[in-house]
Amino acid sequence: MIEPSNTLDATSAETIHGRDEFLLPGMLHLYEEPLVLAEGNGVRVNDPEGNEYIDLFAGILTTSVGHCNPNVVGAVTAQMKKLGHISTLYGNEMHVEAARKIADITPGMLNRTFFSNSGTEAVETALMMACLATGRSEIIALRVGYHGRSFMATSVTAHSGWRPLATQVAGIKHAKSPNLYRCCPSKTRCDETCVDKFVDDLEEVIVTTTNGRPAAFIAETIMGVAGYVVPPMGYFEKAAEVIRHYGGLLVIDEVQAGFGRCGDHWFGIQHHGVEPDIMVMAKGIANGAPVGATVTTDEIAHLWKGKHISTFGGNPVSMAALCATQDELHRHNAPKNARQRGDQLKEALKEMQARHPWMGDVRGMGLMQAIEVVKDPVSKEPDVERTKRLLEASREEGVLVGLGGLYGTVVRIGPSLLITEQEMAEGIEKLGKAVDRVGS
Ligand SMILES: Cc1ncc(COP(=O)(O)O)c(C=O)c1O
C-alpha cells in the first residue's frame, strides 16, 4: 500500500464531477466510469479510494522507469531548487547534457537535437525541418498512423477518429499501412514476402498523388495507436530507398517505440538496420516530464535558416528528468529487460490465445505487445463489445491496459521498461483472469 502524500484529497466521484464541469468534454477516457488515479510507485498506481492496480500501460508508454522513480524525482527536485526556467535564449548545462545523452544512443549521424514539449511538437518540428532542408512541401505518411494533435500532426495522422477537422493541411498523402494481419485477403497472415506490395504502394502514392518531389516520408517503427502494427523486416529498408530516390527525407517517429521498448536496441528503427534523416521522440524519454525531441544530422540541422526558439523546450527541470531517466534506462539495461519481459508476456498471451480464438492476433516487439479482438479468426471482424468487456474486466482484476486500432479493438500493453519478472507475472495473472472471464 502506498502512503498518501499529496495535499488534495478529492474522492474519485468529486474529481469526475469537476472534470465534467471544467475540462474539455471531448477528452477520451478509457473506461465506462472514468478511472481516477492519485498515486503511483514503480508499476503500481492507486485510486483515491486506495484500490491498487498493476499499470501495464504506463501513462501511454511514458513512465519508462516507473512511477515516481526516486532518482528522477530527486533530480527534478534538486534542479527545481537550483534553477527552474530560463528559455532557450540562454545556455544551460542540463540542456546540453540531455542532447549529449540522446546523441550517444541515436544511430549514425543523428547528433543534433531540438527539444520541445510533446510528441506533437517534435513531429511539427521534424516536418518543418524536412521541408526547409529539401525546399519542398509534400509529405507522405501511413494510413492508420498517429502523430499527434496539432493541425499538421492530425493531418499526417490517418485515423478518422483522430482527425476532427474535415479540412487538413494541404500536401499530405497516405500510403498503405504495412499491416501483416489485415492486408492480404488471400492469406491468414501476410509475411515478409508482402514487403514489395507495401513499398510499391508508397511509390505509387508518390508518383500519382504528389508532384513527384516529396519532402519526406514519416512513419512510426511500430504503429502504436494503430494497435501495435509491426512493419515487416525489409519494409523500412525499401521504403527509405523509395523516398530517397524521389529526393525526400526519411522521418522516423519513435515516440512510442523508442528508448529500448522494442527490446535489444535503443530504437525500433535499429531492428531494420536503417538510418533515418530525422527522428522524433517523446513519451518515455523523460518518464512523464513533458519533453519532445527532434534529432537530425549536422547537415540537415544547418539547413534550418531563420530564427528558432522555445519558451519551455529544453528547460532545466525537464532536462534533469530526461538525464535521470536515461541514466536509469542504462543502469537497468532497458533494451535487454524489455526483450526478456516482452518474451515472458508474449508467451503468456499466446497461451491465452490458444484457449480463446477471439484473440485474433497477438503481436508486438519487446514491451509493446497487443491482442487484436475479433468475432472469429476467419472473418477477423472487429469485436468492439468484447473488447470493452475485456477492458472493464481488467480494471476489476486490478490491471491497467490500453486500447488502440482503427475500431478500438486492440488491447495494448506497454509497462515500465524496468518491470521485474515477478511484477510481470502478477500482471499476466490478473490479465489472464480478465481474459477468461470474457472468454465464452
Ligand atoms: C507515434 C506518436 N507520435 C506522436 C504522438 C504525439 O505525442 P504527444 O501526445 O506527446 O503530443 C503520439 C502520441 O500518442 C504517438 O503515439
Sign of torsion, CA 317 322 323 325?
positive
pLDDT of residue 186: 60
CB distance 224 to ligand 1 below 6 Å: yes
pLDDT of residue 299: 97
The domains found in the chain, sorted by start residue, are 12-65+334-437 (3.90.1150.10), 70-331 (3.40.640.10)
At residue 55, the 3 state secondary structure works out as strand
- Rounded to the nearest angstrom, the gap between the alpha carbon of residue 262 and the centroid of all alpha carbons in its chain is 11
| Nearest protein CA to atom 4 of ligand 1, as residue | 147
The closest-lying atom of ligand 1 relative to the alpha carbon of residue 283 is: 10
pLDDT of residue 185: 62
How large a percentage of the chain has pLDDT more than 90? Answer: 90
pLDDT of residue 191: 76
For residue 88, which of 302, 281, 324, 307 has the smallest C-alpha distance? 307
**Separation of alpha carbons 380 and 378, rounded Å:** 5
In degrees rounded to 5, what are phi and psi of residue 163?
-120, 85
pLDDT of residue 6: 59
- Kindly give the distance from the C-alpha atom of residue 433 to the centroid of ligand 1, in angstroms, as a whole number: 31
**Separation of alpha carbons 120 and 129, rounded Å:** 14
Q: State the pTM of this model.
A: 0.96
pLDDT of residue 166: 80
The closest-lying atom of ligand 1 relative to the alpha carbon of residue 225 is: 16
- Kindly give the distance from the C-alpha atom of residue 377 to the centroid of ligand 1, in angstroms, as a whole number: 30
Q: Residue-wise over 270-301: b if at least 16 C-beta within 10 A, else e? A: bbbebbbbbbbbbbbbbbbbbbbbbbbbeebb
For residue 387, which of 356, 419, 424 has the smallest C-alpha distance? 356
Instruction: Give per-residue pLDDT as tens, 300-313.
Output: 999 999 889 999 99
Ligand 1: which of 123, 255, 267, 278 to mutate, most ligand atoms within 8 Å of CB?
A: 255
- Kindly give the distance from the C-alpha atom of residue 117 to the centroid of ligand 1, in angstroms, as a whole number: 11
Planar angle of CA 331, 348, 219, nearest 5 degrees: 65
Residue 255's H or E segment, with its range, is none
Query: Which residue type is seen at 425?
Result: A
CB distance 124 to ligand 1 below 6 Å: no
Residues whose CB is less than 8 angstroms from the CB of residue 68 and which lie 6 or more positions away in sequence, other chains included = 39, 40, 41, 42
CB 377, CB 357: distance < 8 Å: yes
At residue 300, the 3 state secondary structure works out as helix
Where the chain has pLDDT below 70, the residues are: 1-7, 185-189
Cross-strand partners of 278: 251, 296
Residue 173, CA atoms < 13 Å, CB-side half-sphere: 22
- Kindly give the distance from the C-alpha atom of residue 147 to the centroid of ligand 1, in angstroms, as a whole number: 5
Q: Maximum Cα–Cα distance for the chain, whole Å?
A: 62
In degrees rounded to 5, what are phi and psi of residue 404?
-165, -165
Q: How far is CA 93 from CA 67, 83, 251, in A?
A: 26, 11, 28
pLDDT of residue 404: 97
CB distance 62 to ligand 1 below 6 Å: no
CB distance 257 to ligand 1 below 6 Å: no
Task: Give residue for cell 511514458.
Answer: 62
pLDDT of residue 26: 81
